[in-house]
Amino acid sequence: MSWTDERIEQLRKLWEAGNTASQIAEELGGVSRNAVIGKAHRLGLQSRPSPVRSAGAASSAAPAAPAAAAPVAPAPVAAPVAPPAAPAPVAAPVRAAPAVAPTPAAPTPAAAKPADEPAPFDEDDADTETDTDAAPVRSTVREIETAISTMPVAAPQPVIRSVGPGGFLRQGPGDQQPPATPAPPRRLVPAKPSSDIAGKTGLLDLSDKICKWPIGHPGEPDFHFCGKPINPGFPYCLDHCSVAYQAQLPRRDRRPPPPLPFGGPRVR
DNA sequence: CCCTGATTCGC
DNA sequence: GCGAATCAGG
């Protein structure tokens, strides 16, 4: 994987936003943490508070700003509650709640990028979670511990929502609980060619004007698509957008996505 | 142990 | 220029 202009730009943004090298590496994909750090330095990106900083104080770069000016890596969970009285107005909450411009206006491709891909087929989550995740769970525990230990005692957690480009409310990390559209219980039914989909939006009826949210599952006799008018710029209607798109979390804080029912986008 | 960023150095 | 290996602090 090479450093294309896009990737360099992405690296710059993420680096300046205060993401760690590991997070950036995962975000970009195809590169290691070291690659990211190396590249960042070659690009002359300003170094950030490093564990190893103190040793060679005078060695190279500027002695890294007086402590107060660098609120860079806030506690994962508690961060956005009290923005530090620091210069940069926007940069603070990056880690816990990615700064998403609340402008409902024209969604730029970048801003419109949802939290990864929408994942309509998610009623399998529970299974996946209990069955397959042994390792991720451990790191999650660690993170929770860290979060707790760094959390202000009994801080009231305000509900923070960011507004997606279409104007819908993104779900916060804490409130993904009730999926707005609970998928119907799965029934295994042998695929039958045509059946009782009369009046419903079938595969062949899809266009870029209507919501492509699947109702039911492929192979079921009444499998069809939502078909309502889309939320402009998105493949789904307003309702389904609010289900499909959630605020971006740092990768390490996410559960691995459920296996896709079809070939995924790309395996890394 | 885990994490982090910085630096080195062979390619 | 690139990035793995290494270093070193938290």
Give per-residue pLDDT as tens, A14-31: 888 888 899 899 888 889
> Looking at residue A17, what is its pLDDT?
84
Residue nearest to nucleotide B7 (CA to C1'): A38
A253 near A122, Cβ under 8 Å?
Answer: no
pTM summary value: 0.31
Residue numbers 24-63 of A with CB closer than 7 A to any atom of strand C: 31-32, 34-35, 37-39, 42, 51-52, 54-55
Q: Which residue is nearest to nucleotide C2 (CA to C1')?
A: A35
| pLDDT, tens only, A188-218 | 444 444 555 667 887 778 888 888 888 887 7
Nucleotide nearest to A73 (CA to C1'): B4
Q: Which nucleotides of C are covered by protein (CB under 7 A)?
A: 1-10
Q: Which residues of chain A have pLDDT under 70?
A: 46-47, 49-198, 246-268
Q: Which residues contact A224 (CB under 8 A, 6 or more apart)?
A: A197, A200, A201, A202, A214, A215, A216
Nearest nucleotide, CA A61 to C1': B6
